[in-house]
Amino acid sequence: MSNTIENQYLPNYVVPPGEILEEELESRGMSQVELSERTGLAKKTINEIIKAKASITPESARKFECVFRQPAEYWLNLENLYREALARNAEYSHLESERLSKN
């Protein structure tokens, strides 16, 4: 099921930016280790971003920009949209559980 606000489609699922990063790596035939070496970010950091355990920071976004030639803003926007969607879905869930508990 999805939520609609003022004709805006808001799905009730979110795609972590790490999934996009992983797809980017796969499409380029690049490993996490190679990305780590090319960016100077720890292998653990790359893996945690991919597994949605760590956020894309301005620093990591700039480093991804150098490797992938996609603007840092692209990576930061993915992260921000992901965090906003998580917060929105959590709020909807909370409101729905409150509504159900009153019935």
Residue 76 sits in a domain whose CATH number is 1.10.260.40
Of 90, 27, 21, 30, nearest to 57 (Cα)? 21
Euclidean distance between CA atoms 61 and 48, whole angstroms: 14
Helix (H) or strand (E) holding 39: helix 32-39
Average model confidence (pLDDT) for the chain?
A: 89
Other CB atoms within 10 A of residue 94 CB: 10
* Confidence category of residue 9, pLDDT binned at 50, 70, 90: low
pLDDT for 3 beyond 60: no
Would residue 2 count as lying in a domain?
Answer: no
Kindly report the pTM of this predicted structure.
0.79
Q: Which CA distances in Å does 87 have to 7, 27, 51, 65, 98?
A: 20, 30, 18, 27, 17
pLDDT at 22: 98
In a domain, 26, yes or no: yes
